[in-house]
Amino acid sequence: MSPLLISHPPERRTTREQLLRRAQMLATELSQHVHTPATAPVINLCRERDHFLLLFCAALLAHRTTLLPPSPTPHVIEALKHDHPGALQLDDQALKELAQGDEISASHRHSDPSTPAATSPSPLTALLNEHAWPSPTFTAVTLHTSGSTGEAQPHRRTWQQLRSGAALLAQRLALGERRYQLIGTVPAQHTYGLETTILLPLLTEHTVCAGCPLFPEDLRSLLTALSPPRILVTSPPHLRACLESAIEWPQTELILSATAPLSAELAQQAEERFGARVLEIYGSTETGALATRRTVETPIWQPLEGVELEAANGNWIASGPHFPSCTLHDVLELDPNGPGFFLHGRSRDMLKIAGKRHSAAALSALLQAAPGVRDAVILPPEDNPWDPARVAALVVAAPPDAAAVKGWLREHVDPVFLPRPLLFVDTLPRDPSGKLPRAALIELLERRRMQDES
């Protein structure tokens, strides 16, 4: 059986069997030595993926729900603890301190490099069944929306739903018999990161890198240390930063992208620079992965096996074996020639100004393609403190050239959708997964307005 984790340097690794046995030890530690109610949930703030996996599995074995916040900021964590009295909060340092001096942490981080990868002849299913996993209906995790469409909301997923989602995603990716090594730039606390970098390797034969690199050079170093075939799990902002660097990238057989729209141009550049297939995953916190597409080939999304979409009262209802039926926040159009669909953006992104319609997401993508622009976002009129009848824009560019950006937009959009104001900023307030929380954008606009008035 292949090792579950492989960190940098590559001789430090952990097999699935080692991880699960240490998780059982940690579950016992949580039950016996932590002064919280026996069923109190665990707030998993671990950034290092091996720590996250260890704590996630331990919580499952202890029959404790894992709470995953939309961000690690203090006020978000305090609100979560207020809603869940007695919740146990653990990050990388706290996990090390909890396990200090015993085998849980030490042997997990320093596996003997001479140990063969195949340390257990047991099939993966048998290995998992050796441990006291909760019942299929147990609420294994409570995820929280990022706040990109308003207030963050909790969404519960059972252990069976998580396992079904990982199986469906593995089926869609069609990785075959090869054992891939995954590396992610997105946090495990986000639905996308949880499904791809935690559940997929935990429940399949693939390996995941323990690190969560942020900067392109760090990513290149870790990718190079991994033996092929490789999978990069990332987001459009991270991918854009990688492509803007002069780094020569090692061949990466597959790149997965989610959390924000990926342009065909950026996907094409990534396929050429990395020598990879680039697949986009469409989903949400409520549903997990719903559909995929190869962006350079088609705009049509293909649903995962068992996912059904139904129009009802102007909305779309999604159902599937790995999530409860729910209303989507996006505008879809079914493909008349097959089971796929077109995605036209979020419902609240649909703009109607002077009788004309456009999508804020499409306008943002167009603005991001303007010469010199590195990042950008269009905000709807209701979020514009200067003019509630016009869209506003926040732009990161080097150098900032308002005339050039406005000229580009005039060539591509109707004048009613030209932003007023168009503001240049040093950076956009993206969260670790690459999303832009609405509250953070409104706060940034308000600060700029107050500066203009002072």
- pLDDT tens, 1-18? 445 666 544 567 888 888
Average of per-residue pLDDT values in the chain: 86
Assign 110 a pLDDT band (cuts: 50, 70, 90): very low
pLDDT of the residue at 106: 43
In whole angstroms, give the CA distance from residue 381 to residue 364: 14
Which two three-digit tokens encode residue 210?
């323990």
pLDDT of the residue at 35: 67
Instruction: Kindly report, residue by residue over 189-215, the tens digit of the pLDDT.
Output: 999 999 999 999 998 889 999 988 989
| CB-based contact 256:231 (threshold 8 Å) | yes
Q: Which of 76-85, 103-112, 122-131, 438-447 has the lowest mean pLDDT?
A: 103-112
Answer yes or no: is pLDDT of 117 > 50.
Answer: no
Query: At a CB cut-off of 8 Å and minimum separation 6, what does 67 contact?
Result: 41, 42, 43, 44, 80, 84, 87, 141, 142, 144
Answer yes or no: is pLDDT of 148 > 60.
Answer: no
More confident residue, 324 or 293: 293
Answer yes or no: is pLDDT of 52 > 70.
Answer: yes
Answer yes or no: is pLDDT of 229 > 80.
Answer: yes
pLDDT of the residue at 91: 93
Query: At a CB cut-off of 8 Å and minimum separation 6, what does 307 contact?
Result: 290, 291, 318, 319, 320
Assign 360 a pLDDT band (cuts: 50, 70, 90): confident
In whole angstroms, give the CA distance from residue 316 to residue 232: 31
Q: Which of 20-34, 365-379, 394-408 has the lowest mean pLDDT?
A: 20-34
Give this prediction's pTM.
0.82
Residue with tokens 């004048």: 415
pLDDT of the residue at 260: 85
